[in-house]
Amino acid sequence: MKAYRAAILRFDPDLPPNTAAIYESDGLLVVGPDATGRQVVLAVGAYPALKDQWSHVQVTHWPERIIAPGFVDMHIHYPQTNVIGSPAEGLLPWLENYTFPEEIRFESLDYSADSARFFIAELLRNGVTTALAFATSHATSVQALFEAAQARQMRMITGLCLMDRHAPAELLNRANSGSERDATEQSLIDTETLIQQWHGKDRLGYAITPRFAPTSTDAQLHGAGELAARYSDVWIQSHVAENKEEIAWARELFPASRSYLATYDDFGLMRERAIYAHCIHFDDDDRALMRDTGTAAAVSPTSNLFLGSGFFDYAGADRVGFAYGLASDVGGGTSFSPFHTMLAAYYVGREGQTKQGLSLSPQHLWWQHTLGAAKALGLDGGRDVAAIGNLQVGCEADFVVLNPKATPLLARRTAQASSLDELLFSMIVLGDDRLIEKTVISQVN
């Protein structure tokens, strides 16, 4: 067992996002193994109230620091680390000119392994302790990411990118040489093999990963839906309704579906643990479909601003009531830092405010990148699954140690904060990787 004394920020899963934050200016966090050997929070609260009960545990004291839940990134592409900051008119030319050429390089296991190690280190440096990540269409890239995450005991969900048309030949899923099977069948077999090899191993999870409807045939989407039905606790990840040209293309290719989003439902790809990135250009029927199927949105504001894709409609999502959380979407997104993502989300909420009277509070923004994202991923402790992102008792002990004096300006501004919302806001606006002094990962014994 270990105990840490510092200020502590945590989130109450039973409260609405605007008021879910709990802050102890002098707190104690006690961490130790649960029945399965995983390090979880055993006690958390005010130091004066807990110190006698836990006096047998050695306490590490971090004065003037804040312990907070590790951040959860709901959508990121590890093979796009080198693509950040590649300008393009919009999504489709960006994919063609920058992203696809870089992803082709992940056929190499060495290239994949080196990129995966860098990627994991960069996530941790930025305080991200759980990610739902895209790999490429090469099984080598998936193996490399799982292995790199496993070596750091990190909670990582990824899967083989399914694409059997409309991309460079080197990126399409391939049949094995001399095999009777075609590439589509092989991609589904490879997916199932990887599920069996990795899903539920240590802290790793598998996501069935059709890139987006336009790069899959009907047969591939149908097969992915069958796997999603058979393996009901694996995740599904894809993209939807990000960009006007992309939507027109998807509608042309799948005209029988009611909408682009409904295409995925028609193939059995909407359910709990299905996460769709972007979800910008929706109507209320799409929103209701998200809600009714338990599907969640990964909101990616830096990417949407960078690629000129549009603005996620927070008011629409809350009015109809579907789950969402925040994501960097690197490399369409511009930063690994959750602070940059939360600030971009705030700007997007302001855009909504002029239209709908909405302003996202700092607690709500922080919640979207921790507990809200955990809930959207189905990792909030219900039905005997692991809980992450809240630092309440029983939650896995992934946390960050923030230094609110990390820069002269942060020190000056945070010292002026007269409420929790002001403190959180000053860190959201001024924060980056320098604010993360330490990232601690829950270990499995």
CB of 332 to ligand GUN, least distance (A): 3
Beta bridge partners of 72: 130
Alpha helices in 170-313 (DSSP H): 183-198, 218-230, 244-253, 260-266, 284-293, 301-306
Under the binding rule (CB under 6 A), the answer on residue 164 touching ligand GUN is: no
Out of ligand GUN, Zn ion, none, what residue 266 binds, judged by CB under 5 to 8 A for its kind, is: none
> Nearer to ligand GUN by C-beta: 107 or 437?
107
Q: What is the DSSP string of 403-426?
A: -TTSSHHHHHHHHT--SHHHHHHH
User: Any contact of residue 99 with ligand GUN (CB under 6 A)?
Assistant: yes
By CB under 6 A, is residue 212 in contact with ligand GUN? yes
Work out how close the CB of 11 gets to ligand GUN at its nearest, in angstroms, rounded to a whole number: 28
Calculate the alpha carbon distances from 386 to 257, 266, 371 in Å. 35, 30, 12
Residues 237-266 that bind Zn ion (CB under 5 A): none
Among 73, 102, 242, 265, which residue interacts with ligand GUN (rule: CB under 6 A)?
242
Q: Residue 277, interface with Zn ion (CB under 5 A)?
A: yes
Q: How far is the CB of 211 from ligand GUN (least distance, A)?
A: 5
DSSP assignment of 110-134 equals HHHHHHHHHHHHHHHHTTEEEEEEE
CB nearer to ligand GUN: pick between 68 and 327: 327
Q: How far is the CB of 242 from Zn ion (least distance, A)?
A: 8
Applying CB under 5 A, does 171 fall inside the site for Zn ion? no
Cα dihedral: 128, 130, 134, 136 (round 10): 90
Q: Is 369 in the site for ligand GUN (CB under 6 A)?
A: no
Select from ligand GUN, Zn ion, none the partner in contact with residue 159, using the beta carbon and a kind-dependent cut-off of 5 to 8 Å. none
Rounded to whole angstroms, how far apart are CA atoms 234 and 227?
9
Residue among 277 and 400 whose Cβ is closer to Zn ion: 277
Please name the helix (run of DSSP H) or strand (run of DSSP E) that holds residue 323, with its range, or none. Answer: strand 323-326
- Site for Zn ion, residues 88 to 107, rule: CB under 5 A: none
Q: Does 138 bind ligand GUN (CB under 6 A)?
A: no
The whole-angstrom separation of Cα 327 and Cα 333 is 9
Residue nearest to ligand GUN (CB): 332
When asked if residue 303 is in the footprint of ligand GUN (CB under 6 A), the reply is yes
Of the candidates 73, 164, 329, 380, which one interacts with ligand GUN according to CB under 6 A?
A: 329
d(CA 229, CA 231): 6
- Residue 39 vs 238, nearer CB to ligand GUN: 238
The CA-atom distances, in angstroms, between 267 and each of 185, 237, 264 are: 16, 14, 5
Q: Considering only 317-325, 328-336, 340-348, 413-421, which stretch makes contact with Zn ion by CB under 5 A?
A: 328-336
Q: Which of residues 383-422 bind ligand GUN (CB under 6 A)?
A: none
First-to-last alpha carbon distance for the chain, in angstroms, is: 12
Q: Which is nearer to ligand GUN, 99 or 392 (CB)?
A: 99
Q: Which of 246, 265, 329, 398 binds Zn ion (CB under 5 A)?
A: 329
Contact stretch for ligand GUN (CB under 6 A) within 58-66, 91-99, 361-369, 423-431: 91-99
List 7, 9, 91, 149, residue binding ligand GUN (CB under 6 A): 91
Contacts 24+ apart (CB under 8 A), 407-415: 407/434, 410/434, 410/435
Site for ligand GUN in 101-130 (CB under 6 A): none
CB of 91 to ligand GUN, least distance (A): 6
d(CA 226, CA 224): 5
CA gap 185, 22 in Å, rounded: 50
- In the list 10, 38, 65, 77, the residue contacting ligand GUN (rule: CB under 6 A) is 77
Residue 242 contacts which entry, ligand GUN, Zn ion, none (Cβ below 5-8 A, type-dependent): ligand GUN
Is residue 164 involved in binding Zn ion (CB under 5 A)? no
**Site membership for ligand GUN, residue 367 (CB under 6 A):** no
Contact 161, 137 (CB under 8 A): yes
Are 104 and 170 within 8 A, CB to CB? yes
101 vs 34: CA distance, rounded Å: 45
- List the one residue out of 263, 293, 437 whose CA is nearest residue 378: 293
- Please give the residue ranges that form the binding site for Zn ion (CB under 5 A): 277, 329
- Please give the residue ranges that form the binding site for ligand GUN (CB under 6 A): 77, 91, 95, 99, 211-212, 239, 242, 303, 329, 332
